Amino acid sequence: MTSKLPSKIAVKATLLAGGSLTVMAGALIAPAIPQLSTEFNHLRDSEFLAKLTLTLPSLIIGLFAPVMGYLVDKTGRKPLLIFGLLLYAIAGTAGFLLNDLHHILISRAFLGIAVACNMTTITTLVADYFVDKERNQFMGLQGGFMAFGGIIYVILGGMLAMISWREPFLVYLASLLVLPLVLLFIREPERVVYEEVDSRKLDYPRKLVNFIFFIGFLGMVIFYMIPVQIPFFLTGMGIHNEINIGIAIACTTIAAAPAAISYQWLSAKFSFSRIYALGFLVMGIGYLLLGSAWSYSTVIGSLMVAGLGFGLMIPNASVWIMTLAPAKIRGRIIGSLNAAMFLGQFFSPVFSEPISDSTSLATTFMFAGGLMLVMAAGFFLWKVEGEKRELSS
């Protein structure tokens, strides 16, 4: 006798709500970073350490996502997701109580483990539950939902940061609202058999998969310059209001949301490489405009152009990987993609800081814009054999 399965609407709503938590993991506290740097300015390199609170979770996600991918394939989806949501609430809100910046960094590391659990599990469940057009449609919807969530979280973070740098950390309790939905509506996929698998014996295009990992890494290195550097870019222009900083960062996701939602229609007409080409082209233009911006309004406009391009790329890597990953190691491959993308977030300031220190943030944004135009040209010229090959369903 089988229990009644939850409706698809309930399942999709749960996955969308859980996926939105990955967006706020870092961006939520971005408006408070300058304030956090000032609070602990007695420490050597306080500005760098403050930025690290934003990016350290990305490093930990990058290190732990492959491990979570293995556990997802080995032990199942739901238990890992429940663990991740609980850890997310505990580690995320710890910053509200802690008085030592180094202790806050430790709590951010545990937050990274939680996000690695949640993101890998949710993306794998999407690949389990949906196939073909329904999968593309949902991934576009998820990208838009995550973008809209990012808008709310970043603006909320900016509003709370006006009280103090501590208050934004309380918003991480939102994972406890998602937990009951997971308990009620998420079921282990019946067709997934958890067993030891030698991935070397499975037939899938490894070189193409590794290339997608690299593009995910590089794309995030460039994109994450926005939440990391924009607060300092704007303060350099004389704009110190945390809400204005939060709104500026949120404008990227405001534009990304409709672009991501449009993915389901674009994917029906264009190949994965062509969508990447379009995304990098638009992002590159946005970054070039940002590098030459002279006022708050021109910064907003530039960030919205960049957001349109990024919105196209949010679902593209995941869907491409889903079409290539054999079901038996789907969690591991999706975990590796997440690792590549979040390592890109962590290394973003590592690559951008030397350029900005020797020149300026404006020049750094323009350099990134030029690099993306080169990448766009490469994707327009490159024809990938077997792009639409389907191995996952």
Per residue in 366-387, pLDDT (tens digit) is 999 999 999 999 998 876 554 5
Report the alpha-carbon distance of residue 377 to residue 369 in Å, rounded: 13
Residues 6+ apart with CB under 8 A from 76: 188, 194
Q: How confident is the model at residue 389 (pLDDT cuts 50, 70, 90)?
A: very low
**In this predicted structure, what is the pLDDT of residue 82?**
94
Nearest to 80 by CA among 93, 64, 91: 64
344-377 b/e with 16+ CB inside 10 Å = b?
Answer: bbbbbbeebbeebeeeebbebbbbbbebbbebbe
Nearest to 92 by CA among 174, 13, 19: 174
Per residue in 245-255, pLDDT (tens digit) is 878 887 887 88
Specify the DSSP class assigned to residue 163.
Answer: T
When pLDDT is averaged across residues 27-45 and rounded to a whole number, the result is 83
Side-chain half-sphere CA neighbours of 244 within 13 A: 13
Per residue in 338-365, pLDDT (tens digit) is 889 888 888 888 888 888 888 888 999 9
In order of their start, the domains of the chain are 9-184+204-381 (1.20.1250.20)
Q: How confident is the model at residue 5 (pLDDT cuts 50, 70, 90)?
A: low
Report the alpha-carbon distance of residue 113 to residue 110 in Å, rounded: 5
Residues 6+ apart with CB under 8 A from 343: 58, 59, 61, 62, 63, 217, 220
C-alpha dist (Å) from residue 328 to 62, 77, 158, 200: 22, 13, 43, 12
**In this predicted structure, what is the pLDDT of residue 283?**
96
**In this predicted structure, what is the pLDDT of residue 385?**
52
Determine contact, residues 365/287, Cβ cutoff 8 Å: yes
Report yes or no on whether pTM surpasses 0.85.
no
**In this predicted structure, what is the pLDDT of residue 4?**
53
